[in-house]
Structure 1
């Protein structure tokens, strides 16, 4: 039968395709289809559902017709060499594929193939690798014994039902080549399940016992999708005190996920201070990322168990944990594997940017102002020239986050040493050499740094065996610029642009330790992480209002002798971190007279003292004070609000670009290399 089939095929193929290509009448198509079907039955082949008169009788070309016949009858199985499809359940495919792509090169340069390669990033791990494997079943059709086997329609339909919301969330249309009717077959046609291997792998995974809570800590390295899943499960377990949200996306489109803990998740509460931890700023420094995942699970489980320390902390603080600021870099480092402690691979973002050098340099401006009488070293605006450079979307996301929430205290977790550093990180030395470069709040920062270091059993240990013992004599803390100087750091930006005080914690000697070391690292840092969070309640807090009790936003809280103010939030509340001592505190706002109070903070005080201010209208407001009060106000045309880090070259006014280009979704930049072959079919119809 096979021999006879091969003998008559070329002649029949030409006849069928000539009819299909030149005569578009229904009768001609019926004849062509009957010929196809007859050959299929003779050869024991499946009838290709994508060849049907209703779909193609007006559009099929003779060339496409020949491709269909070739695929159905003279297909030759070849090994799969497409890198994104090497883990499918079969080993051989056929050319051309269901999209009439005739070679590996054509497929790899297609928008369809690029899409399945980046879907994991675009959808933040949702529905993957399921969608990629489904796409591979179309782009790399299964071939067995010189026969093509089609994927099952019901698998496609179920996946589309579950995953369509993820596409809607990023304003992307469902891909045409995943059309369940067009490219997939029914079970009666002898289809196969392209996700069967994946289901087998999932079933084979070692599941936790059913009686183990969702907050059970697994001391392992988490991939991006595992991290997101763990955070979401933790927030769901403690939904009354936790929620997750994203502050933006990485350059490759991964959401920068935050888990928040408070008694009113998602909302700022009057007089409740805002705290944040940031991990994995450098992608190859992974310990901070894992610590914050473990911390989230710990806070949830201990709150539910009634731990009084954790309940007090969450009931009185709004806590934000961002485990991975650089998920793109982490993926590169993870490819090297645990135990890799190099300084380069994965440190930077997908744009090859060091995030801790990418923030605006406000420290230089602070040094310039320091010698000016009456000048304030706070709420320094971002210089316009900053936007002419290359700004990472991760950097912009953090800056907007800082603008949206009145953070009081923060720490960024790094790796490679055991030390806590504090601003300034940029040296005041004229040649930028390392040099002790204190902020006006040197005493506050030393108090904060010591709070973490003293609670860490290894950092506080006087032994010189750990990390070379470089900071033993300093008590495990150091002024950043005295260690080494760099500009564009996140800690300096926090202090000089917002109300937030931030330190940098080097949490371990190894950047990417082995999994068996993570349990010990967690227990070394757990107490310090909690102790540092509790420092957000040091100093004073209060409300600034007018005589009618109306809150005054952006009022300045000044401390005599400290050249750095904080400002009130939208509800008129403020927090001013201070060490023990006696201080003269004043509050002022445009159009109001200044009010001053003497405040004493006892050495053993562990809760912020309440100091409210009631301001009365001033008969005249000095222009000098008015200028000072408006100095940190946000411009309604602020570049931070307008700036698009996914499409930047040169000065903002020079970038321009068409309105149509600016209206494209954020993910459109992924397909910029395709020139004329961009996937317009992914754009939703308006």
Structure 2
């Protein structure tokens, strides 16, 4: 009997080592305590530290990012969105033909190393940046992306977790559980969020991204929203843009070497909640609060493969990453919204009938980029306070479609234009200030009168000067004097 209990005890202990870890949502087991847990963590760190040979350290990564920026300054710039708990800058590489400038183009972001013990993404993203730089104006796909998209790459969201060889950050918090959740009151207290999470949230408040993807490890699948369910059950839970997300995920999976051949996930894609529910995840938060269509990409069955496998993983994922970014301009509908009374761009709202999700055009150029699954008919509506809404029906093919809108201002019963808070004046702002304090007919008459008098004075003065010059010519030159 004692032998049976001993074997049972050992089997439970060793099952922890062989239990498969789920990259997107596997929770760390916190039941181990005392010496056993301490030894396990030491052994695990040593194992991962050995695997880390050949991977870039945080210092190496920073040097590589800065070297990339110097070498590719014509198509790149680097900036930091914040720092980790241990003070490591969260460096971002922006790649575009006009880096740092605002254009009427979509923006895409890649984020790697969300979990510290899933480092493949940080390596592949640096390779992606260098490949784009090396192939600009040589490869049509690289040229298409750089000329038409602002691509932002954050190779490591969790540099502290990487150096500690563990999933969580320096506070041992899972960053992919640290965002506000739509179903449950999680992470609503701003002060309790991790600095890495705050940095991502501030980043999205400052810049609008059309779409994005985070790179993980431990499986091979393209995951899309929703990640959770209202009742916490594991079942398919579709978001309003389910068709568009399925299309995006399929773009990545079908371009991958073997992701679409998965026996576990049909077509190599999965709805997050259908796989297993996640709460406080970054993916759903991006879509709800950032207006950004985000995928969670599991790009390697092995969380931490040896460094000599990185070149193979890069080749397996290269076309997938490129095609996903390029899909922002090669598919969907794009356009700008203008005012009919003065032609100024309007930062209006774009919605699609039957899809409960609205996007907003940019403030500067009023450009919008709406991801939609091809091969469907859509009714697209543009709305703006103070303007009459307009709609059009389109049949979206495999290629992108341009749909611009010109909105007419609302007219009040008295015949006045109903203005919104958006200034659509074609003249200088000071003119509006004068109008506010002077009745228009009298003000206009006064301006005309003043201009007429000024013109008459000019003619009279011109005649006097002309006569004076004529007189001087007739009497000859005179010596100058001081009066």
TM-score (norm 2): 0.72
Equivalent-residue separation in structure 2 for 1:433 and 1:332 (angstroms): 33
Q: Structure 1 residues 388, 408: CA separation in 2 closer, same or farther (over 3 Å shift)?
A: closer
Q: 1:486 aligns with which of 263, 278, 300?
A: 278
**1:389 Cα deviation after fit:** 5.8
Match of 1:330 in 2: 162
Partner of 2:48: none
> Quick one: higher RCO (CA 8 Å, sep 6+), 1 or 2?
2
Distance 1:290 1:614 in 2: 45
Match for residue 347 of structure 1 among 149, 163, 167:
167
Within the alignment, does 1:316 sit opposite 2:148 as a pair? yes
User: Which residue of structure 2 lines up, in the alignment, with residue 587 of structure 1?
Assistant: 382
Q: Matched residue of 1:475: which SS?
A: helix
- Partners of 2:132 and 2:218 lie apart in 1 by 26
1:348 match: secondary structure:
coil
Contact 1:427 1:437 in 2 (8 A): yes
Report the counterpart of residue 182 of structure 2 in structure 1. Answer: 362
Compared CA separation, residues 586 and 406, structure 1 to 2 (3 A)? same
Report the 3-state secondary structure (helix = DSSP H, G, I; strand = E; otherwise coil) of the residue aligned with 2:278. coil
Change in 2 beyond 3 A, CA 1:364/1:542? farther
**Alignment correspondent of 2:215:** 413
Within the candidate set 257, 261, 264, 1:461 is matched to 261
Alignment partners' CA distance in 1, 2:412 and 2:317: 53
Compute the displacement of 1:314 (Å).
0.7
On the 8 A contact 2:144/2:326 being kept in 1, the answer is no
Preserved contact between residue 260 and residue 269 of structure 2 (Cα < 8 Å): no
Match for residue 616 of structure 1 among 405, 408, 425: 408
For the residues of structure 1 that align with 2:404 and 2:332, how far apart are their CA atoms? 13
Q: Given the alignment, which residue of 369, 372, 376 partners 1:578?
A: 372
1:426-460 CA-partner distances (Å, limit 9, x unpaired): 113x2x02111000111000000011111111212
Is 1:601 the counterpart of 2:396? The answer is yes
1:276-287 pair list within 5 angstroms:
276-287=109-120
Measure the CA separation in 1 of the matches of 2:396 and 2:70. 40
1:363/1:424 contact within 8 Å kept: no
Measure the CA separation in 2 of the matches of 1:397 and 1:619.
44
Task: Give the aligned partner of residue 298 of structure 1.
Answer: 131
| Residues 419 and 507 in structure 1, CA contact (< 8 A), matched pair in contact too | yes
Q: Distance in 2 between matches of 1:349 and 1:504?
A: 19
TM-fit CA distance, 1:250: 0.9
1:542 maps to 2:332 = no
* Alpha-carbon distance between aligned partners in 2 of 1:513 and 1:523, rounded to the nearest angstrom: 15
Unaligned runs of 5+ in 1: 1-218, 334-345, 366-382, 463-468, 622-628, 631-686
Contact 2:141 2:326 in 1 (8 A): no
**How many angstroms apart in 2 are the aligned matches of 1:578 and 1:616?**
27
Report matched runs for 1:501-580 at 5 Å.
501-537=293-329, 538-547=331-340, 548-553=342-347, 555-571=348-364, 572-580=366-374
Distance in 1 (alpha carbons) for counterparts of 2:408 and 2:176: 43
Partner residue in 2 for 1:267: 101
Distance (Å, rounded) in 2 between the aligned partners of 1:501 and 1:436: 18
Rounded to whole Å, the distance in 2 between the matches of 1:552 and 1:362 is: 30
What is the Cα deviation at residue 309 of structure 1? 1.8
**Conservation of the 8 A alpha-carbon contact between 2:339 and 2:345:** yes
Aligned to 1:392: 194
CA distance in 1, matches of 2:87, 2:124: 24
Preserved contact between residue 363 and residue 492 of structure 1 (Cα < 8 Å):
no
Alpha-carbon offset, residue 308 of structure 1: 2.1
Q: Secondary structure at the match of 2:192?
A: coil
Residue 433 of structure 1 pairs with residue 233 of structure 2: yes
Distance in 1 (alpha carbons) for counterparts of 2:145 and 2:393: 28
Query: Residues 84 and 158 of structure 2 are in contact (CA less than 8 Å); yes or no, is this contact kept in structure 1?
Result: yes
Aligned to 1:170: none
Kindly state the Cα deviation for residue 620 of structure 1 after the two structures are TM-superposed.
6.6
Q: Tell me how far apart the structure 1 counterparts of residues 190 and 363 of structure 2 sit (CA, whole Å).
A: 31
1:363 to 1:235, Cα distance in 2 relative to 1, 3 A: farther
Contact kept? 1:437, 1:481, Cα under 8 Å:
yes
SS of 1:492 mapped into structure 2: helix
Query: How far apart are 1:489 and its partner, in Å?
Result: 0.8
What are the superposed Cα offsets for residues 452-496 of structure 1, whole Å, 9 maximum, x if unpaired?
11111121235xxxxxx432xx11111000111111111101111
5 Å-filtered alignment, 1:73-88, equals none
**Aligned: 1:244 with 2:44:** no
Moved over 4 A (4+): none
Q: Cα offset for 1:362?
A: 2.5
For residue 188 of structure 2, give the secondary structure of its aligned residue in structure 1: helix
CA change 1:593–1:517 in 2 (3 A) is same
Q: RMSD of aligned C-alpha atoms?
A: 2.0
Paired position in structure 2 for 1:647: none
Q: Distance in 2 between matches of 1:545 and 1:363?
A: 37
Contact 1:249 1:394 in 2 (8 A): yes
**2:350–2:359 CA contact under 8 A, matched in 1:** yes
Query: Aligned partners of 1:573 and 1:303: how far apart in 2?
Result: 25
> Given that residues 141 and 322 in structure 2 are in contact (C-alpha distance below 8 angstroms), is that contact kept between their aligned partners in structure 1?
no
In structure 2, the gaps of 5 or more residues are 1-52, 414-420, 423-483
The DSSP-based 3-state class of the residue aligned with 2:350 is strand
CA distance in 1, matches of 2:76, 2:362: 23
CA 1:311–1:491 in structure 2 vs 1: closer, same or farther (change >3 Å)? same
Aligned counterparts of 1:416 and 1:590: Cα–Cα separation in 2: 47
| C-alpha deviation, 1:388, in angstroms | 5.5
